[in-house]
Each structure stands twice: as structure tokens, then as C-alpha cells.
Amino acid sequence: MKRAACLSALACVLSLTAAAPASPGTTARGGGHPHGTLLDSVPRTGVLKVCTTGDYRPFTHLDPAEGTYSGVDIKMAENLAKSLDAKTRYVATTWANVTKDVAAGRCDIAVGGVSITLPRARQVYFSEPTRQDGKTPVVRCADKEKFGAGTLKDIDKAGTTVIVNPGGTNEQFTRANIHQATIKLHPENTTIFQEIIEGRADVMMTDASETLYQSKIHPELCSLHPEQPFTFSEKSYALPRGDDPFREYVDQFVHLATHDGTYAAYEEEWMGRSGA
């Protein structure tokens, strides 16, 4: 009888546990996002808050005179917002703070050529990748022969000035691989390539996609081996950790756009070719 009573009590406890509502701050998918899912709140508010640096063409560019954004990922963000019955509201950020701003809830998504890295992945979710990329050099075309095959050994020599924008993966790569050449920091990514054109720097190592775009708009510049970059990386969109339904939706949005020609068309418009 005692055993039967114990079993009956255990059954009651299990029944109550199963029927108990989820604790506040958890989603039905177990994501743990404190305010429910953005998949519901963005259509409700009609606003998708988008963090972007505005200084990384072809993915994101802020026109200072007009105060408007353009670029491959800006078009994608607008399409994403439209699919959620919302409009974009852009939030200015920097490369040093882009994932921190997403993690702090200052925006719903970060776009604009954001590379997936493990340190960033500790702060945010990343969507399905939009493209494959990697670091490659861009130089003055007049100096192309000077750098031979464009290897790191060809670049990392005394007398060469390697320019880099601070706070992101470009600086990390440059500092890890350049030891003999001079490293010059330039805080304005929108004007950094003019420093090479005018001879105040010799090389910049950035993503192949950016070197292709810059060589398109500046015929004085040549991208070295963009089809064989030094590194492998993928670009993606940064999303709040814990919001699984929203991440799954953005994954599906990216998957469709990168397979139905939408994303490729935006790249073609900006770079004159798709992929790198």
C-alpha cells in the first residue's frame, strides 16, 4: 500500500510539472529571449531595427549628405523588413561594437558585410551565410609587379605601408601577419582607399568582395588574387542570442534569396559580377 501511495504521489507531481506554464522570459521554442520573439514583435511594431556601419561598400554605405543607406545588405534588410510587414530603422554602429549592439538589444539584426568569427558567435547568433569571402590585397595597379604573386611574404617587407581600418577582422588579420612592413591605421573606411591611390599607403588587405568593388570604381586599384584569398570566411547577419524562431525565419529568408537569384542580382549591381 505504501508503494502504491508513493507511485500515486509521484504521478501527481509529474502531472503538475507537465502542466505548469513556462517561466517568464522563455519562448515556446526554449530560446530564452526575454521579450518573446522578434518574429512576432517586429510585425506588431512595424519596425525592424538594423545595425550597420555604413562604411563598407558594396554591402553598406551611408550617404552623409542625404543620411540614407545603400548597398547589397541594405537591400536585403529592406526585403526582410517588407516580408515582416515592417520598415527598416537604421542604427549606426562601428566594427568594434557591431555584435555588442545586437547583444544589448539596440537593434534586431546587424548587416553590412559582417564576417562570422568565433568571438562574435559567443555574443550573437549568425544567420545562414550570404556569401563566402576572405582577405586579399588591393594595391595601386602601377605597383602590381612590385608585389609579385601578392603573397604575405611579398607584402611584409620594410618600406611597405599596409593601411587598415581599426576594430574589425581586417585589423586582426593584418596585425597577425604583418611584422616587417609598417601598419598604418586609418579610421575612415570610406576614404581609406584614397590613401593608397594618393601614395600615402601601398596595400590594404580586406575581403575579396570589397577589393573587387573598389577596383571597379577606382581603375587605379587592382585586386590581387581575389579568387584565392589568404583566408576563408563567410558573411552573415548577426541576430540576438536566444531568439530561435527569429533566427529560423531569417535563415529561410537568406536561403531563398541566395538560391533564387535575388542576392546575386544585388551583388551584380554593385560589383559587376556575383561572388568572389
- Looking up residue 71, the CATH number of its domain turns out to be 3.40.190.10
Q: Which three cell numbers stand for residue 116?
A: 562570422
- Same domain for 223 and 98: no
pLDDT band for position 151 (50/70/90)? very high
Q: What is the pLDDT at residue 248?
A: 98
Instruction: Tell me which residue of 252, 239, 228 sits closest to 109, measured CA to CA.
Output: 239
Asked if residue 78 has pLDDT above 70, the reply is yes
Asked if residue 22 has pLDDT above 50, the reply is no
Q: How many domains would you assign to the chain?
A: 2
Asked if residue 4 has pLDDT above 90, the reply is no
pLDDT (average), residues 6-18: 44
Q: What is the DSSP letter of 117?
A: -
Task: Give yes or no for a contact between 236 and 128, defined as CB atoms under 8 angstroms apart.
Answer: yes
Asked if residue 129 has pLDDT above 50, the reply is yes
Asked if residue 124 has pLDDT above 70, the reply is yes
- Same domain for 246 and 119: yes
- Same domain for 244 and 162: no
pLDDT (average), residues 207-220: 93
Q: The whole model's pTM is what? A: 0.76
Rg (CA), the chain: 23
In the predicted model, what is the mean pLDDT of the chain? Answer: 88
Q: C-alpha distances in angstroms, 94 versus 51, 106, 112?
A: 9, 13, 11
Domain span at 262: 38-132+234-271
- Same domain for 267 and 138: no
**Of the candidate ranges 42-46, 111-115, 168-172, 259-263, the one whose mean pLDDT is the lowest:** 168-172
- Same domain for 101 and 63: yes
- Same domain for 204 and 83: no
pLDDT (average), residues 59-77: 96
C-alpha 124 chain-centroid distance: 11
pLDDT (average), residues 177-188: 96
Q: Examine residue 20 and state whether it is found in any structural domain, yes or no.
A: no
Q: Examine residue 8 and state whether it is found in any structural domain, yes or no.
A: no
Q: What is the pLDDT at residue 162?
A: 98
pLDDT (average), residues 157-164: 98
- What is the Cα–Cα distance from 237 to 108, expressed in whole angstroms? 10
Q: What is the phi-psi region of residue 221: left when phi exceeds 0, alpha when psi lies from -120 to 50, beta otherwise?
A: beta
Q: Examine residue 72 and state whether it is found in any structural domain, yes or no.
A: yes
Asked if residue 16 has pLDDT above 70, the reply is no
- Same domain for 172 and 259: no
Q: Rounded to 5 degrees, what angle do the CA atoms 258, 264, 266 make?
A: 115
- Same domain for 250 and 114: yes
- Same domain for 152 and 176: yes
Q: Examine residue 139 and state whether it is found in any structural domain, yes or no.
A: yes
Asked if residue 164 has pLDDT above 80, the reply is yes
- Same domain for 239 and 106: yes
- Same domain for 164 and 81: no
Would you say how long the chain is, in residues? 276
Q: Examine residue 6 and state whether it is found in any structural domain, yes or no.
A: no
Asked if residue 259 has pLDDT above 50, the reply is yes
- Same domain for 42 and 125: yes
